[in-house]
């Protein structure tokens, strides 16, 4: 086993242990991938202020997200098909988040169902919802979420039409994979993954199959899903779903200050600044670039979170100093899941925690709540030195 010191180590291990189509599903952007790459590159332009001769013995990353105590301001983002990265992947990720004291968000497009995760963890979690045309299914899944102990609904707004991801099309990606000759050869090269999948019954979309009317097979599922993303979505419909849920809601997929102002009017409790990890509109700006304008648009007190590009504790701190109240991670923990299951997710979270703690100390800050714009370098500081 290689020594794991950074998220990149988990990514390389993930790539070796998971069939190509499912690794590619995670590590891909839309079209040319320019936004996918820019999400990371823009973080590199932000620099910290290194401060010395400060007592940094009593450091804390603890705080709250959506009013819930967290050990650090990091949540696991909703990622579809986690159960194809590792058998029962959603359960493993939820348990790792629970052990680390951070929120886990279950995707609508998960292999493990709401009921599976609730039974396996016995703890509250968050649930991500797409805006779907099937009103009966929508009412049903929201009711199931309440009964499963979901405390926060994360409503995704930026996937009313799916962006084109070339690798998924070339791989003819489905979940579970079709048993074609190329897929069988790829699976044979990943025996650990294949044996795990043989041992679990959770190999299709657990929140949909058996719950959506007429969906009992893979063919039914593909047809139902292709018709469900609601291209009629508008702010009136968003506000209607917020009211229908009746509890805390985070609106995910906001990447423009004007949309952020509209989002506040829906009654949602927070915004997740996101470009879907560069998987939807290629050529959209990185979230860390839009964050300051969105913060100005919603004011200093409205809860703002950020995802897309967070693969280190330093990037998480840069987002917080720029205006976010916390961050969501997707690829970072999924690499760990594909590499080593629950232990890999725990390793990813431990890496981020360590990087945040050490960086905060070297910036001379004890409490994450004090990590703000003054912790970042600007050329104005150099000019006045």
**CA 197/CA 192 separation, integer angstroms:** 9
**CA 116/CA 93 separation, integer angstroms:** 13
Contacting residues for 118 by C-beta, under 8 A, at least 6 apart = 125, 148, 149
Q: Which of 295, 338, 288, 290 lies closest to 314, judged by CA?
A: 288
- 276 in active site: yes
74-76/326-329 β-pairing: parallel
What's the token pair of residue 182?
């190329």
For residue 82, the surrounding DSSP H or E stretch is helix 82-85
Q: How many residues does the chain have?
A: 385
Catalytic residue chosen out of the listed positions 86, 92, 190, 276: 276
- What's phi and psi for 65, nearest 5 deg? -135, 125
For residues 363 and 48, is the Cβ–Cβ distance under 8 A? yes
What's the token pair of residue 254?
């906001």
**CA 171/CA 177 separation, integer angstroms:** 10
For residues 283 and 338, is the Cβ–Cβ distance under 8 A? no
- What's phi and psi for 282, nearest 5 deg? -70, 135
Catalytic residues: 276
């Amino acid at each position: 086993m290689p020594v794991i010191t950074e998220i990149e180590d988990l990514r390389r291990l993930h790539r070796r242990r998971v069939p190509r189509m499912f690794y590619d599903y995670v590590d891909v952007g839309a079209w040319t991938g320019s936004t996918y790459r820019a999400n990371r590159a823009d973080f590199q332009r932000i620099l910290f202020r290194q401060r010395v001769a400060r007592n940094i013995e009593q450091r804390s990353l603890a705080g709250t997200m959506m009013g819930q105590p967290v050990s650090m301001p990091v949540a696991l983002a909703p990622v579809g098909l986690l159960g194809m990265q590792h058998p029962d992947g959603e359960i493993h990720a939820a348990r790792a988040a629970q052990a680390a004291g951070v929120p886990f968000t279950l995707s609508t497009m998960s292999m493990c169902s709401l009921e599976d995760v609730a039974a396996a963890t016995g703890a509250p979690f968050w649930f991500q919802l797409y805006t779907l045309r099937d009103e009966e299914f929508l009412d049903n899944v929201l009711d199931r979420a309440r009964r499963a102990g979901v405390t926060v609904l994360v409503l995704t707004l930026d996937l009313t039409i799916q962006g084109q991801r070339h690798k998924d099309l070339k791989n003819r990606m489905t979940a579970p994979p079709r048993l074609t000759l190329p897929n069988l050869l790829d699976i044979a090269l990943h025996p650990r993954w294949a044996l795990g999948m043989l041992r679990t019954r959770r190999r299709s979309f657990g929140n949909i199959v058996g719950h959506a009317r007429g969906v009992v097979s893979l063919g039914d599922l593909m047809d139902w899903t292709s018709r469900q993303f609601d291209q009629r979505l508008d702010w009136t419909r968003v506000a209607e779903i917020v009211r229908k849920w009746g509890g805390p809601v985070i609106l995910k997929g906001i990447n423009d200050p004007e949309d952020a102002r509209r989002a506040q009017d829906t009654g949602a409790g927070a915004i997740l600044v996101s470009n879907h990890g560069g998987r939807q509109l290629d050529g959209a700006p990185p979230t860390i670039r839009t964050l300051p304008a969105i913060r100005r648009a919603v004011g200093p007190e409205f809860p703002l979170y950020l995802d897309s590009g967070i693969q280190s504790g330093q990037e998480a701190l840069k987002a917080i100093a720029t205006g976010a109240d916390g961050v969501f991670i997707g690829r970072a923990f999924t690499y760990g899941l594909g590499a080593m299951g629950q232990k890999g997710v725990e390793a990813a979270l431990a890496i981020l925690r360590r990087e945040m703690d050490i960086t905060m100390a070297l910036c001379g800050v004890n409490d994450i709540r004090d990590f703000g714009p003054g912790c970042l370098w600007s050329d104005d500081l150099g000019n006045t030195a």
